[in-house]
Amino acid sequence: MQSKAIKSSRLIIWTLFIGSFIVNFHQILAYSNGAPNGEACRTLYPGHGVDKQYGRSNYRIHVSHRFNDSKIIVTLYSPTDTFLGFIMQARLHTDREMLVNGVFSTNEHTQALNCLGGYQNTLTHVSAYPKYKIETTWTAPKNFFSDIVFRVTVVQSKNIFWTTIDSDVIELSPSSSSSSSLPPNQMNNNNQQGGINTFNIHNDFNQQSPPSSIPSGFVVNKEPDSVSKAPYNVALSSLAITPPSQYSTVSQQSPLVQSYPLLSRYDSNLDLAYYLDYNVCARKLCFGLPNGCLRKRNCLMLLTSTIIPYTDSTVEFEIIADHRSSSRYRPSSFNYPLSSPPATSTSSLTSPSTSAYYSLAFSHDKQMGNDSVTDCLLVNGRPELSNSINLGKTNEELTDGEFHGVTVINTTYTNGILYCKWRKRRRFTLRGTRFDLRDNRYHLMLAYGRLASFSGYKRKEPHFDKIVSDSMVDFRMTGPISAYSKMFLVKFHAAFMIIAWVGFVSIGIMTARYLKPLWISHSLFGVRIWFAVHRSSMLAALIFASIGIISIFLYVDGFSMGFHQMFGFAAIFSMIINPIGAVFRPDCESSKRWIFNWIHWLIGNLGYLSAVGALFLAFQLTTIRLQPPYLWSIAFYLFFNLTVHSLLQLYFCNCHHNKDTGDISDGSIPGSSTNTNQRIDSLADTAFLRYFFMLYSAVIWIFVIVIISFTFIN
Residue 82 counted as domain residue? yes
Pairing of strands 433-436, 427-430: antiparallel
Q: What is the pLDDT averaged over residues 596-624?
A: 88
Cα radius of gyration (the chain): 35
Q: Which pLDDT score is estimated for 685?
A: 64
Q: Which of 421, 449, 484 marks a domain boundary?
A: 484
Q: Are residues 476 and 503 in the same domain?
A: no
> Are 518 and 494 in a shared domain?
yes
**Overall average pLDDT of the 556-566 stretch:** 75
pLDDT at residue number 543? 94
Considering 457, 484, 511, which residue would you say is the last residue of a domain? 484
Do residues 423 and 363 share a domain? yes
Confidence check: pLDDT of 397 > 80: no
pLDDT at 544: 95
Residues 346, 492: one domain? no
Residue 121 clears pLDDT 70, i.e. is over it: yes
pLDDT at 704: 95
Burial label, 652 (beta-carbon count in 10 A; 0-12, 13-18, 19+): middle
Q: Is there a contact between 116 and 68 (Cβ–Cβ < 8 Å)?
A: no
Structural domain of residue 468, as residue ranges? 285-484
pLDDT at residue 641 in the model: 92
As a whole number of angstroms, the distance between CA 76 and CA 230 comes to: 24
Mean pLDDT is highest, among 56-60, 332-336, 454-458, for 56-60
User: How confident is residue 276, by pLDDT bands cut at 50, 70 and 90?
Assistant: low
Report yes or no on whether pTM surpasses 0.85.
Answer: no
Q: Residue 395 burial by CB count (10 A; 0-12/13-18/19+): exposed, middle or buried?
A: buried
pLDDT at 247: 33
Residues 101 and 53 in one domain: yes
Residue 150: pLDDT over 90: yes
Q: Which residues of 537-571 are buried (b: 16+ CB within 10 A; e: fewer)?
A: bbebbbebbeebbebbeebbeeebebebbebbebb
Q: Taking 90 as the threshold, does the pLDDT of residue 33 lie above it?
A: no
Whether the pLDDT of residue 571 is over 80: the answer is yes
Q: Which of 187-196, 277-286, 604-613 has the highest mean pLDDT?
A: 604-613
* Percentage of residues of the chain with pLDDT beyond 70: 68
Is residue 13 in a domain? no
| Domain CATH code at residue 156 | 2.60.40.4060
Q: pLDDT tens-digit profile of 200-215?
A: 545 443 344 343 333 3
- Residues 385, 496, single domain; the answer is no
Q: Are residues 520 and 467 in the same domain?
A: no
Q: Within a domain: residue 107? A: yes
Domain check: are 88 and 170 in the same one?
A: yes
| 3-state SS, residue 153 | strand
Tell me the CATH number at 542: 1.20.120
Q: Are residues 503 and 645 in the same domain?
A: yes
CA angle 581, 585, 590 (to 5 degrees): 150
Length of the chain: 714
CA separation for the pair 186, 200 (Å, rounded):
14
Domain count, the chain: 3
- Domain shared by 454 and 602, yes or no: no
pLDDT score, position 153? 92
Q: Examine the fold and report which residue of 431, 449, 484 is the final residue of a domain before the chain moves on.
A: 484
Q: In the structure, what pLDDT confidence band is assigned to residue 674 with cuts at 50, 70 and 90?
A: very low
How far apart CA 236 and CA 252 sit, in angstroms, is: 12
pLDDT, average across residues 331-338: 37
